[in-house]
Amino acid sequence: MAALSAWQERLEETALAPVRRTGLRYWALVAFLLAVIGWGVYAYSIQLRDGLIVTGMRDRISWGLYIATFVFFIGISHAGTLISAILRVSQARWRTPVTRMAEFITVVALVCGASFVIIDLGRPDRVLNVFVYGRWQSPIIWDVLAITTYLTASITYLFVPMIPDLALFRDRLSGRTSRWRGWLYRAVAIGWVGNVAQRRSLGTAIGVLMILIIPIAVSVHTVVSWVFAMTLRVPWNSALFGAFFVAGAIFSGIAMLIIVMAILRRAYSLQEYVTEKHFVYLGYLMAAFAGIMIYANISELITHGYKMEEGVEFQFRQLFLTQFGPLFWFYLLGGLVAPIVLALLPRTRNVPGMVLAAGLVTTAMWIERYIIVVSGLRVPLMPYEPASYAPTWVEWSMLAAGLALFALLITIFTKVFPIIAVWEVAEDHEAMLARPDIARPAALKTPELAEGAGR
């Protein structure tokens, strides 16, 4: 037991380390991110003053980088759901050290994504009209409902499994940290002492939440796709769109999780817990979703391309040959084929290889969202010269600020909340020690969260 408690002690110290020590490099990073966000605020103030004329969007391509980034961020937010809920439902034990990070990403990406819709509005001063005059028939209202529900659910889903760790922070840091932190941890630990009844409630709550959050997450990206699929635009006119967007969302979510994992593992020395195994497993999962994406693309392209209805030829030309050719081929080869190759080759089946694959996927998925939005609108509706669109410096600044906000919120989260699910990792570790035989020792027969009832 001595070895175990030493192990537990080391785990708790690792989880507490970010809160205890804050180096100069952290503040430098925060300052840098704040500067980028500040630049974005300046760009937005110009947009507020002059109108959307400062963007590259015009009547014929009336959505652009903002909407693409919105879809991208909402996609990223599926990281938490998949890794956490789906792996929890399937009782994949290896997930425990990375679930917390995934749930952080979900909440933060939702906040960033939702803000891009407001940035895109011509009249942000009237955004409350959505609640005052909202019509259930509009896909935008479906989006508002789905995203607010998902945000509520994912904050709850982040918070509930964190309660025991917050109590750990409360107990270990009491009197040894600033007053507001002491107050914060006391408040958010909501009186957790870890007795049997509390643990049973926690297990039930997590069990309910993880089942609930999966359909919510699926619905979110489905209705995001319906913003496009409910119009009469040829390239968007597809019943596959919902499933295609959900698959792409999970795909990009895994990629973003791998990137965040790599950064946090380095920054906070989590090598003992976040191991190469996690990167490779997630890499496999990402490769599997790359396969699904390839299938979806073939399915989508061939049903349109075989028949060549009005506008489809134009769409295929701009995708494969002209306007979007380089981007689209990068998406297909760099974003869908390359991750599979990287996951299959033994030489790249390691942390740098998987991070490279994740970087490719994240970039390619942003590009895919951009192509879907812009190419769909570019197909001419009437006999006119096809319009063109190029994002302006304002739009690029907002994208940079959005990514900086994403990074900043994650950075701040890691300094306030436990980045590793300490109790889940500990449970997992104990269960592992108790093996190899499947019969569990008597000591573990009591209600136990990782494999107990309701999990």
Partner 1 sequence: MSDRADGRRDDPGAERGASTAPVEGRHGGPQIGRRHVLRLLGLGALSVAPLPVLPTLLRAAVDIDEPPRPQADAARTADGRIRQWTMIIDLRSCDGCQSVDKPPRCTAACIEGHFAPEPMEWIEIFEGELPGGGTQFIPTPCQHCQNPPCVNVCPVAATFSTPEGTVLIDQDRCIGCRICMAACPYDRRFFNWGNAPVPPESLLADYSPEHQIPVRKGTVMKCDFCPDMARAGTLPYCVQACPQRAIYYGDLEEDIATNGKVLVSASRFLTENHAYQLKEELGTKPRVYYIPGHGAAAGRDAFTPGRQPTEWPWVERVEGAVTWQR
**Binders in 401-440 for partner 1, by CB under 8 A:** 422-423, 426-427, 430
Give me the amino acid identity at 269: S
Of 22 and 138, which has the nearer Cβ to partner 1?
Answer: 138
Q: Report CA 256 to chain centroid distance, whole Å.
A: 6
CB of 105 to partner 1, least distance (A): 21
Q: How would DSSP label each residue in 59-116?
A: SSS---HHHHHHHHHHHHTHHHIIIIIIHHHTT-GGGHHHHHHHHHHHHHHHHHHHHH
| Interface with partner 1 (CB under 8 A), residue from 3, 24, 232, 442 | 232
Subset of 109-128 contacting partner 1 (CB under 8 A): 117, 120-123, 126-128
**Of positions 202, 246, 256, 285, contacts partner 1 by CB under 8 A:** 202
Q: How far is the CB of 214 from partner 1 (least distance, A)?
A: 17
| Percent of the chain that is helix, strand, coil (3-state, to 5) | 75, 0, 25
Q: Report in angstroms the alpha-carbon separations of 167 from 6, 173, 220, 342, 393.
A: 20, 10, 32, 41, 46
Nearer to partner 1, 135 or 435 (CB): 135
Q: Which of 3, 24, 197, 438 binds partner 1 (CB under 8 A)?
A: 197
Question: Scanning residues 345 to 404, which ones bind partner 1 (CB under 8 A)?
Answer: 377, 380-384, 387
| Least spacing, CB of residue 343 vs partner 1, in Å | 35
Return all residues near 318 (Cβ < 8 A) that are at least 6 apart: 324, 325, 375, 378, 379, 386
Q: Is residue 166 helix, strand or coil?
A: helix
CA dihedral sign of residues 29, 32, 38, 40: negative
Considering only residues 239-278, where is the footprint of partner 1 by CB under 8 A?
none
Which has the closest alpha carbon to 1: 429, 418, 437, 424? Answer: 429
Region 211-230 residues binding partner 1, contact defined as CB under 8 A: 227-228, 230
Give the binding range for partner 1 (CB under 8 A) out of 129-137, 286-294, 359-367, 400-408.
129-137
The CB-of-445 to partner 1 minimum distance in angstroms stands at: 9
**Which is closer to partner 1, CB of 3 or CB of 24?**
3
Does the CA dihedral 93-96-101-102 come out positive or negative? positive
Please give the torsion angle defined by the CA atoms of residues 392, 394, 396 and 398, in that order, rounded to the nearest 10 degrees. -150
Residue 434 Cβ vs partner 1, minimum distance, rounded to whole Å? 11
Q: Is 297 in the site for partner 1 (CB under 8 A)?
A: no
Pick 8 or 363: Cβ nearer partner 1: 8
Interface with partner 1 in residues 48-107 (CB under 8 A): 50-54, 57-60, 62-63
Closest by Cα among 107, 124, 109 to 159:
107
Residue 180 in contact with partner 1, rule: CB under 8 A: no
Q: How many CB atoms lie within 10 A of CB 132?
A: 7
- Regarding 168 and contact with partner 1 (CB under 8 A), the answer is yes
Rounded Cα distance between 105 and 321, Å, is 36
Q: Residues in contact with partner 1, total (CB under 8 A)?
A: 86
At closest approach, how far in Å is the CB of 194 from partner 1? Answer: 4
Contacts of 451 (CB under 8 A, 6+ apart): 91, 431
Smallest distance, Å, CB 102 to partner 1? 20
**Interaction between residue 45 and partner 1 (CB under 8 A):** no
| Binding-residue pattern over the window 132 to 151 for partner 1, x denoting contact by CB under 8 A | xxxx-xxxxx--xx--xx--
Query: Does residue 129 touch partner 1 according to CB under 8 A?
Result: yes
Nearer to partner 1, 165 or 395 (CB): 165
Distance between first and last Cα of the chain = 27
Q: How far is the CB of 355 from partner 1 (least distance, A)?
A: 32
Residue closer to partner 1, measured from CB, 47 or 397:
47
Q: What whole-number distance in Å separates Cα of residue 455 and Cα of residue 444?
A: 15
Please pick, from the candidates 204, 219, 297, 350, the single residue that binds partner 1 as defined by CB under 8 A. Answer: 204
Q: Please say which residue, 10 or 58, places its beta carbon nearer to partner 1.
A: 58
